[in-house]
Structure 1
Amino acid sequence: MPEQAVPPRSAVARSRWAPAGALGLALALVPALPAAATAEETAAPSVRCQVTDPRLTELSGLVDVGDRMLAIPDGGDQVTVAALDGACRVTDVTAVPLDPYDPEDLGVGADGTVWLADTGDNNATRATVALIALRPGGTTSLYRLSYPDGPHDAEALLVAPDGTPYVVTKEVLGASHVYRPAAPLVDGGTVALADVGTVTFTLTGTPGGPVGRAGQLLVTGGAVARDGSRIALRTYTDAYVWPLAGSDVPGALAADPVRVALPPSPQGEAVSFTADGAALLVAGEGLPGDVTLVPVPAVTAEPSAAADPSLSALLEDDGSGPSPVTAGIVAAAVATVFVWIAGRIRRRRAASPPPAA
């Protein structure tokens, strides 16, 4: 997809989206389920099913809504929402009538609104990012957002129980910012975002991902439990779960989370709570791609031991690596080059810039 800056779009994007009957996007969601009972032991992860449909080669967002899963692919000049059955077969696909820039995550509000986070920005050049809302009445709304401190790449969306969307950035050094709209969203207009918190991730030693140990610091997806009791963020290698009281997402993220190491995957980007809230579902790019069930202990996180969040540690090996200053510079450069290369690849995939909305 194109990586040049995209100016705000002023056209109001509101239209019917089809097929309204076949997919339905689980817009008439069942009422929230009670929280699952706490298990004494956490079971091992298990593969629920395997995605093989080429339309989801770059799966980046996933939500379990009970009778189906909803998924979106990353990239491309058109955003689509796919419905998957329990065997990960695509049963329907809805093309959203808006041209995206880089959709990265997916969420479902308590009122049944399906939210898509068009927030990817590998090269940090976008003037605005966007949220796309697919409402139960069949309308599509486009909301443009601007950061108060310049562009960010972001791949995680958290939709609070009260409907407030939160965007969590993807930061090379592990200090992800949390943003929410500073004013009511305006369909077709642009609203400023407010920085409401920071979540710091440290090296965990969990293998996986496309960028080595740096992947342990990069946030690639977010999820909110259907009953509103917990929220989760994931990196390429680990998932982090916090208890949620009401809709205070910043307050929840300020506490210590429960960390769960995820099974190694080439590029894990999607995370969802199961419909009953008892576990997480994780998935990522590449075919065939596993949708893996990851049980989560329902316990209060203990304060974690101090860990080295610096990128110098990414290159250390049993204490014999380069100096912290040199290693930090080299590792940051490596991560930057990777992001640049990924942007170039996506740009080449796009035949032409997306048409104006």
Structure 2
Amino acid sequence: MNPRHRRLLIPGLLIALLVIVVVSSLADKAGAATSGEQPVSRITDSRITESSGLVVSRTDPDLAYTINDSGNAAAVYAVDVPSGRVVGSAAPRVPFTDTEALSADSTGVLWVADTGDNNRRRTDVALYSMAAFGRQDVGARDVKRFPLTYPSAPRDVESLVVNPRTDEKFLLTKGLLGGEVFALPDRLVQDRPNRVKALPATVPGLITDAAFTPDGAYVVARNYSRGFVLDASTWEEVETLDLPEVQQGETLAMEPDGRSLLVGSEGAESPLFRVAFTSPAPAAAPSDEPAAGAATARTPAGAADPGPLEGGNGFAGATWLWAGGVLALLAVISAAATRGR
């Protein structure tokens, strides 16, 4: 090849590589925006800056409750989901320390988990129960306190899940490489610590919130970037979920129909997103023919990426193949240029 042409070809290929990477990034973002994720609203109330727990009302699907993380006033807020406006609040007559999770039982009673413990040294962790309230400020409110104790050392817990069918309660610890699952006693008492029981199970690392599906069969948990569908009978991970990118993903709630999740973030003006959800189907017998409609937006845990679906944006899936080809060609040309000197 003419040396002058060779010198022009290398910059041209570099530009082509840059275009491929940029287009790939845009295609990926476009795909994410159409994968079942829908912006709903923002919680703009100045009192809520560290939303760390979220649960949807049992009686009003457009009403959700949230709490702040440590260092804030002891309060539970009622949020109108479509608008993000705070439409009610309650002030428990207790001092919270580090509230991290919020759930509701089958009767709609709210359960607050004051179980955050980054330094793993607290001896005063507890659950609090309080009656749900609607779209009104109810002021100071009496709550019931249920002290907890672990089998051995203190744990950092940011997730409390309550089975909507049986009212069984579980805590999921926030471990760096994986978390533990603790079952609470069926009958909680207020006059002495309730000893939680460690289950022979491990959940993904850095879990910040979780919720049961309405049928009690699965638990959907999240960390800062992804969601995980767990079999509630074994706590094994059966699927992973793509979640919206947010500043600090700390909240997740199951909506009453079980067909969508509400997810949010810590920080001022916390966004709320609705994410489409379908409970995993029972495992089917092996077949040579793919089942009709089997493709979904979710990827089973541990499964390989099936590539672009028919009718979808196949360019994004093949982009890195082209990029690799361009890089290989650049390497060949560079070697040839070196030999030609």
Shift of 1:94: 0.5
What is aligned with 1:178?
181
1:46 paired with 2:38, answer: yes
**Structure 2 segments unaligned to the other structure (5+ residues):** 1-33, 134-140, 282-298, 305-341
1:55 paired with 2:57, answer: no
Alignment partner for residue 166 of structure 1, among 164, 170, 180? Answer: 170
Which letter does structure 2 place at the counterpart of 1:273?
M
Q: Deviations over 1:98-145 (max 9, x none)?
A: 111100010010011100011100100112411001146985210001
**1:245-324 matched pairs, under 5 angstroms:** 249=232, 251-254=233-236, 256-300=237-281, 302=300, 304=302
User: Structure 2: how far apart are the matches of 1:182 and 1:107?
Assistant: 17
What SS class does the counterpart of residue 122 from structure 2 fall into?
coil
**Structure 1 segments unaligned to the other structure (5+ residues):** 1-41, 202-216, 244-248, 307-357
Shift of 1:258: 1.7
What is aligned with 2:106?
110
1:236 paired with 2:250, answer: no
- Worse-matched range after superposition: 229-238 or 135-144: 135-144
Point out the structure with max Rg over C-alpha: 2
Aligned residues: 242
Which letter does structure 1 place at the counterpart of 2:78?
A
Shift of 1:183: 6.3
What SS class does the counterpart of residue 47 from structure 2 fall into?
helix
Shift of 1:199: 2.4
**1:110-129 matched pairs, under 5 angstroms:** 110-129=106-125
What SS class does the counterpart of residue 208 from structure 2 fall into?
strand
User: Structure 2: how far apart are the matches of 1:302 and 1:82?
Assistant: 35
1:131 paired with 2:127, answer: yes
1:222 paired with 2:218, answer: no
Cα RMSD of the aligned pairs, angstroms, is 2.2
User: Structure 1: how far apart are the matches of 2:116 and 2:125?
Assistant: 8
User: Structure 1: how far apart are the matches of 2:278 and 2:187?
Assistant: 36
Shift of 1:286: 1.1
Aligned 8 A contact 1:78 1:98 in 2: no
Which letter does structure 2 place at the counterpart of 1:88?
G
**Quick one: higher RCO (CA 8 Å, sep 6+), 1 or 2?**
1
User: Structure 1: how far apart are the matches of 2:46 and 2:200?
Assistant: 37
TM-score (ref. length: structure 2): 0.66
Alignment partner for residue 83 of structure 1, among 78, 82, 94? Answer: 78
Which letter does structure 2 place at the counterpart of 1:122?
N
- Worse-matched range after superposition: 275-284 or 228-237: 228-237
User: Structure 2: how far apart are the matches of 1:139 and 1:56?
Assistant: 22
Aligned 8 A contact 2:201 2:234 in 1: no
User: Structure 2: how far apart are the matches of 1:188 and 1:292?
Assistant: 40
Which letter does structure 2 place at the counterpart of 1:241?
V
User: Structure 2: how far apart are the matches of 1:67 and 1:186?
Assistant: 33
TM-score (ref. length: structure 1): 0.63
